[in-house]
């Protein structure tokens, strides 16, 4: 089920995004850790063929926000055989009842959305059961998700709980490797108003973590920035950007000739609302 032209489009879009990532990284002030930002290609709602195509162009990190969809895509026989070095990131809300299912995902690389001590414990125990550290030696990389915008519709820890949660993971979750902090932030922030306050909040959370754990900022990654703001996110210090629609195309509308501009805007708005809802419900 290859769609005409898909292959070239994904490759071109991916290269263009990688280029923009590079240029944004070059604009960062020297005071920020000089880490090469990781591009996570968010393939949600897109078919495995697109994942394979992006992989062929060199992409290795991919993100999904539903456990079931991730499990299916990562277990797809073609993905398994064509993408041996793929690294899957889980970036959606994780419910405790889905933890075991998530642990079964082949090539699971990082869970970016640990948002409570309880969930950390659950993931730690589940990972120990599936891949005992003694045999594989592999810890599961995790990030702690912070609700920087304080919106009810967003998941994540209240900022005041960041340090204790990170401390808990480091002290009491031997199967987990703490990698950094993640936020989604408010949608549609107008950058002409100045730096995105959600990203600034995540930066200040990192400062707190670094001070209290006595570690350098280069040891705590920041996952922030999506299609519409990943360059800004990198300029202010993101080390992990999650980009979907700019690589794979818009989500959620029928594969028919371009709708009228007006319809398209309305559809995008509707899809945005739907995503905001599903982000919360999922």
Ligand X SMILES: *Cc1c(COP(=O)(O)O)cnc(C)c1O
Contacts of 116 (CB under 8 A, 6+ apart): 157, 165
Contacts of 86 (CB under 8 A, 6+ apart): 51, 55, 60, 62, 74, 79, 107
Quick check: 183 binds ligand X (CB under 6 A)?
Answer: no
Stretch that binds ligand X, among 18-26, 149-157, 160-168, 239-247 (CB under 6 A): 239-247
Instruction: Measure the CA angle with vertex 188, ends 184 and 193; round to 5°.
Output: 105
> What is d(CA 118, CA 208) in angstroms, rounded to the nearest whole number?
22
Stretch that binds ligand X, among 79-87, 97-105, 205-213, 241-249 (CB under 6 A): 241-249
Quick check: 222 binds ligand X (CB under 6 A)?
Answer: no
Quick check: 17 binds ligand X (CB under 6 A)?
Answer: no
Could you tell me the smallest distance in angstroms from the CB atom of residue 166 to ligand X?
Answer: 20
Answer for which of 38, 44, 141, 168 binds ligand X (CB under 6 A) is: 44
Chain residue at closest Cβ approach to ligand X: 244
Quick check: 242 binds ligand X (CB under 6 A)?
Answer: yes
> What is d(CA 147, CA 133) in angstroms, rounded to the nearest whole number?
31
Answer for which of 70, 79, 83, 91 binds ligand X (CB under 6 A) is: 91
Quick check: 243 binds ligand X (CB under 6 A)?
Answer: yes
Coil, strand or helix: which one is 7?
Answer: helix
Quick check: 42 binds ligand X (CB under 6 A)?
Answer: yes
Quick check: 244 binds ligand X (CB under 6 A)?
Answer: yes
> What is d(CA 26, CA 37) in angstroms, rounded to the nearest whole number?
11
CB 108 within 8 A of CB 101: no
Quick check: 226 binds ligand X (CB under 6 A)?
Answer: yes
Near ligand X in 62-81, by CB under 6 A: 65
CA distances from 244 to 20, 38, 154, 238 (A): 14, 14, 19, 16
Contact footprint for ligand X (CB under 6 A): 42, 44, 65, 91, 184, 226-227, 242-246
């Amino acid at each position: 089920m290859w769609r005409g032209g898909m292959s070239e489009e994904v490759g071109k879009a991916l290269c263009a995004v990688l280029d923009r990532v590079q240029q944004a990284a070059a604009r960062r002030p020297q005071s920020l850790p000089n880490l090469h930002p990781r591009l996570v290609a968010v393939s949600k709602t897109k078919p495995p063929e697109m994942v394979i195509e992006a992989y062929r162009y060199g992409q290795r990190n991919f993100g999904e926000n539903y456990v079931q969809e991730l499990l299916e895509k990562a277990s797809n026989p073609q993905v398994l055989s064509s993408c041996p070095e793929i690294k899957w990131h889980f970036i959606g809300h994780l419910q405790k009842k889905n933890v075991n299912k998530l642990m079964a995902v082949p090539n699971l690389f990082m869970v970016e959305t640990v948002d409570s001590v309880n969930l950390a414990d659950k993931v730690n125990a589940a990972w120990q059961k599936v891949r005992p550290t003694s045999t594989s030696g592999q810890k599961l990389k995790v990030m702690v998700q912070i609700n920087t915008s304080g919106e009810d519709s967003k998941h994540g820890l209240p900022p005041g709980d960041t340090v204790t949660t990170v401390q808990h993971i480091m002290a009491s979750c031997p199967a987990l490797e703490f990698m950094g902090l993640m936020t989604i932030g408010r949608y549609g922030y107008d950058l002409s108003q100045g730096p995105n306050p959600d990203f600034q909040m995540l930066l200040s959370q990192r400062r707190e973590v670094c001070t209290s754990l006595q570690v350098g900022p280069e040891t705590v990654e920041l996952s922030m920035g999506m299609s519409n703001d990943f360059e800004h996110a990198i300029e202010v210090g993101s080390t992990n950007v999650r980009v979907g629609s700019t690589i794979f195309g818009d989500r959620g509308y029928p594969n028919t000739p371009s709708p009228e501009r007006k319809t398209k805007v309305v559809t995008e708005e509707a899809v945005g609302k739907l995503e905001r809802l599903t982000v919360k419900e999922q």
